[in-house]
Copies of this chain bind each other. A is one copy, B any other.
Amino acid sequence: MKKSIAIDMDNVIVDIETNWIGWYEKEFGVRIDKQDLLGIPEDDAFPDPVAARSLIYKTGFFRDAPMIQGAAEAVLKLQENYDIFIVSAAMEFPNSLIEKHDWLNEHFPFISWKNIVFCGDKRIIDTDYLIDDHLKNLDFCKGTPILFTASHNVNVTKHKRVNNWNEALALLEVG
């Protein structure tokens, strides 16, 4: 039986950070440098955190986000050896539900609806691995946690870390 991997969306396959910076500049005319986000919790990363958070609720915010480099090719490779589930805590932002669904259909058409999970707390998800950027998910997962690097987590020292999808493939021994 194949082992299973749960893969988070934002900051793992979706480049929500680049997206957020772009929307912030477009809406408020302030360009944030990615370097300034390093080690900062996402909610505190912008000069006006309330304004930054308001963007999350805007139509198109999740639908138009770019993909993390190499994500689709890597997940397609992983799928040869693993059961892949895309597991996103989308329930916090109900407006994101259909947008995230449509984004997956466009960028990851090889993922069946049967393998997509939109949830809140990921503690009830039981897979052999979880690739995620947040300790709130990794610390409580039932399988092996894999920390995917995002600006906000660069100072985290827990869990096995991968900096990109090439490193993830190497770790999971898929080349």
Given A91-B101, A125-B126: A118 touches B117 (CB 8 Å cut-off)? yes
Other-chain contact of A124, B102, B117, B121 (Cβ < 8 Å): B117
Q: Is the CB of B91 within 8 A of A114?
A: yes
Q: Which residues of B contact A95 (CB under 8 A)?
A: 98
Question: Taking CB as reference atom, which chain B residue is nearest A121?
Answer: B114
Other-chain contact of A119, B4, B94, B119 (Cβ < 8 Å): B119
Q: Tell me how many chains of this kind the complex includes.
A: 2
Given A117-B117, A119-B117: A124 touches B94 (CB 8 Å cut-off)? no
Q: Is the CB of A112 within 8 A of B118?
A: no
Question: Taking CB as reference atom, which chain B residue is nearest A92?
Answer: B113
Q: Which residues of B contact A85 (CB under 8 A)?
A: 124
Interface string of A108-142 (1 = CB under 8 A from B): 00001111111111001111000000000000001
Chain B CB within 8 A of A67 CB = no
Q: Is the CB of B115 within 8 A of A118?
A: no
By CB atoms of chain B within 10 A, which of A4, A95, A124, A126 has the most?
Answer: A124
Chain B CB within 8 A of A56 CB = no
Q: Which residues of B contact A118 (CB under 8 A)?
A: 91, 97, 117-119
Interface string of A77-103 (1 = CB under 8 A from B): 000000001000001101101100110
Q: Which residues of B contact A94 (CB under 8 A)?
A: 98, 101-102, 113
* Chain A contact residues, CB within 8 Å of chain B: 4, 6, 85, 91-92, 94-95, 97-98, 101-102, 112-121, 124-127, 142
Provide 15 A-B residue pairs closer than 8 Å at the C-beta atoms, listed in order of the A residue: A6-B124, A91-B101, A91-B113, A91-B114, A112-B120, A114-B120, A115-B120, A115-B121, A116-B119, A117-B119, A117-B120, A118-B119, A125-B126, A126-B126, A126-B142
